[in-house]
Amino acid sequence: MAEVTQLLGSAGKGDRAALDQLFELRYDELRRLGRSRLSRSSHVTLLDPTALVHGCYMRFLNMRQLDVTDRGQFLGYAARVMRWKGGRRHRVLRPAE
């Protein structure tokens, strides 16, 4: 866990390599989080867990400053991004039964 904290600190200062390493290190966990988000969604979406993780990564890349200090905050922010990506913007409504 110390490695994640160190990577978060470096990524927060704009170190792109640290951000890449962080996502590589936590990729499986982020995919599980994405799968969980999609399974709890009430809408049908064209996205899959991999797309949610990649969208989340792009969102982190676009941040000027990453103000996340621990694994819990990182995953919490990632979950919010995934909820937004899997919800409003890319939603496909279920057909009426």
* Residue 44 pLDDT grade (very low, low, confident, very high; cuts 50, 70, 90): low
| Residue 35 forms part of a structural domain | yes
The parent domain of residue 66 ranges over: 2-91
pLDDT at 94: 43
User: In this model, does residue 32 exceed pLDDT 90?
Assistant: yes
Calpha distance 2→62 (Å, rounded): 25
**Cβ–Cβ contacts within 10 Å for residue 3, how many?**
10
> Which one has a higher pLDDT value, 82 or 16?
16
| Residue 41 forms part of a structural domain | yes
Give the chain's count of helices (H) and strands (E).
Answer: 4, 2
Tell me 48's DSSP state.
Answer: -
State the total domains in the chain: 1
Burial string for 44-64 (b: 16+ CB within 10 Å, else e) reads ebebebebbbbbbbebbeeee
| Residue 96 forms part of a structural domain | no
| Residue 97 forms part of a structural domain | no
Q: What is the pLDDT of residues 67-83, one digit of tens each?
A: 888 889 999 888 888 87
| Residue 53 forms part of a structural domain | yes
**Average of per-residue pLDDT across 42-64:** 82
User: In this model, does residue 96 exceed pLDDT 70?
Assistant: no
Calpha distance 20→37 (Å, rounded): 23
User: In this model, does residue 34 exceed pLDDT 60?
Assistant: yes
Calpha distance 57→34 (Å, rounded): 12
